[in-house]
A = this chain, B = another copy of it.
């Protein structure tokens, strides 16, 4: 039976939440990934060293027994001092910037994306070599939000040439094209944005479990993202943006945004790269690119996938928490055989 080995897979954009939901979802990443960049949008967001270390310890506890490193991020604020960032810099891999209110738990994000307003913090980050991770959406029409953010990315890239800027979970052809225009722009892309368009979310029946922010876009966008991923574009990293919400908050009258993909990401990526005969590029997309961009060496971990049917559970549960994964109840072509 066909096998494929993934070397130290990294998920460079992950939501682990907290409390029981953390305990439910974290092992689904820590089991099969060597590390993950952890989003700081808790309630309240992670903005102090104490909160950061405490959250890291809760994550490590939830992942106990697994070879796994959570790469922590701070929630961007305009008033971080040089002293504070200098003191915390070895504890973090980057700082995540959210425009206020743009997605789950982002209410305390920045209210202005004006470069001059952001300048003090971004200059400190440049000096200290702390990467900036950005949720790049305006508050415009839902299908235009990322495209409208492109000039802001350009302005950031031009004004802070020594700052590594990561366009998180890109969803458009425009963002892929921008990657090639500025040396200091990088990006993550999710699994689901390589697979779905708005048609999958709302073209037939409405699918709340595929509803996410940024929303899935057009076919030409998906195609551009897919080609960049399959060809292991050196500035593009895998970041699942796996974002669990309990079932009752997805199947209701006002469904929360987020797709839970952690337990299926490696299997589906293997299937996808195999389908396009690009398996040779998968390790770059899922690990090596991130190592180079962020300049770190992850724990050594080898995941052997085998071409054997895997039926995705309908739901994952822990105590009172639950979450429905992408492809719930469906069959995948690849399974995880062993983890070393």
Contacts and interface: CB of A to CB of B under 8 A. Distances in A.
Interface of A: 141-143, 197-199, 201-209, 211, 215, 218-219, 250-257, 324, 328
B255 A208 contact: yes
14 contacts: A141-B203, A142-B199, A142-B203, A201-B202, A205-B255, A205-B257, A206-B206, A206-B208, A206-B254, A208-B253, A251-B251, A251-B253, A253-B324, A253-B328
B199 A215 contact: no
A255 B206 contact: yes
B202 A141 contact: no
Contacts of A143: 143, 198, 218
Contacts of A202: 142, 201-202, 211, 215
Contacts of A251: 251-253
A332 to B, nearest CB: 18
Contacts of A253: 207-209, 250-251, 324, 328
Contacts of A255: 205-208
A280 B207 CA distance: 41
B256 A205 contact: yes
A219 B143 CA distance: 12
A199 B141 contact: yes
Tell me which of A197, A211, A251, A328 has the highest count of chain B C-beta atoms within 10 A of its own C-beta. Answer: A251
Nearest to A247: B253
A255 B209 CA distance: 11
A255 B202 CA distance: 9
Nearest to A324: B253
Nearest to A215: B202
A205 to B, nearest CB: 4
Given A141-B198, A142-B198, A205-B256, 15 more contacts: A141-B203, A142-B202, A201-B202, A202-B202, A202-B215, A204-B254, A206-B208, A206-B211, A206-B256, A206-B257, A207-B255, A208-B208, A251-B252, A251-B253, A253-B324
A142 B208 CA distance: 16
A132 to B, nearest CB: 26
Contacts of A211: 202, 206
A200 to B, nearest CB: 9
Contacts of A256: 205-206
A24 to B, nearest CB: 19
A177 to B, nearest CB: 20
A11 to B, nearest CB: 24
A175 to B, nearest CB: 19
B254 A207 contact: yes
A328 B253 CA distance: 10
Given A211-B206, A215-B202, A257-B205, A141 B252 contact: no
